[in-house]
Structure 1
């Protein structure tokens, strides 16, 4: 494996995060803080507890997951789209660098940035609410798996997109609504029975629920179902990426 190439791609992408610090870190942290202020202060006064957990603390895993999903997709999508847009992707493809090394560099950097952001948001949340992580190993596992999975998904979007507008279509019109409807601010047990069943078709429910379980030991779905759903989406993303490089889809044309 050409570790030098992986390191070069990874370092370049990480340095881009430093150059866009306001957009990459500061803006998501500020927006999450506003969620805490608005939902924690306004709605929290009307909903004291959910499953025995203070409402302000209950929404923390969902808010972290919201930013983790959107930022993982955005970081990876923009990371691979710009080389395609400028034409430098052809230099990369003609270099002695394998598809695996390209994916490791781009996706690794995107996932790293998202994980760091998630930990910063977690530290910020501790300033607003009293947090206790019941299962820290599981918390880190879900954090890393989700960041890698959705960075791969963002990598796919970055290759699929043929314009800047398409880079934002799926995150804004699909991922964000699914996250809001996936139990970010509430437990799906609060919904009528019919909508509880419908909500189970939302894949984000399993991510949020598993991540919340790692904090408080309570979840809307079984923890192993959450882990299985995450691994299944990771495998699907890997298969799609493999197919893209095998066929050269939007890379060699």
Structure 2
């Protein structure tokens, strides 16, 4: 029986209570990583993810915290270190994906969306960097968005934030290379997920896209790509934006 790819590693997954974040947590756990399941408010669902991991023989803990504040990011990292003593992988998945016409978009909503998606990735990476630099297999994986590359109506805040993640990925790949930390961005296409009450039931920009493979993607397919980028086999990959979209968009 071969050793699993992430045996003995620790991964922090933000926004891990449901959908893609949940599947990433489960996939990394299946490869041996201990998982820090982060959520801001969906504590019950996050506990369910952690219990699913523990029931399968893995290790997991829930750390509630706000990625959009310095204090919150520091608390999440501190909770991970208290629970498991190390961090090898950070997945910046926390996001909100609202649709609001530009004429109705308030500066408060603009800032809220950017603070969670873009500021959150910066703050979490900043807080986790000292711990990641001690790992021999350190990875930061940002979860982007296809609309950042195609554009979309009523999503100025989300498109801007997700586009910023691409730039942050490239910049951090340079800045953190000397610490042995790879930094990549995974861009999901049209994925079948359960959306919260603050988001449209189906993003309007999906109506103009048709995946060549003839179906929506599964959260587990995004999780598989994240797991590869976190693994020892991906140490030569950094600064990349990698699309998983069934052929609907080809950069």
Q: Please give the TM-score of this superposition, normalised by the length of structure 1.
A: 0.32
Q: Comparing both structures, which one devotes a greater share of its residues to helix?
A: 1
Which has the greater radius of gyration? 1
**Whose RCO is larger (CA < 8 A, sep 6+)?**
1
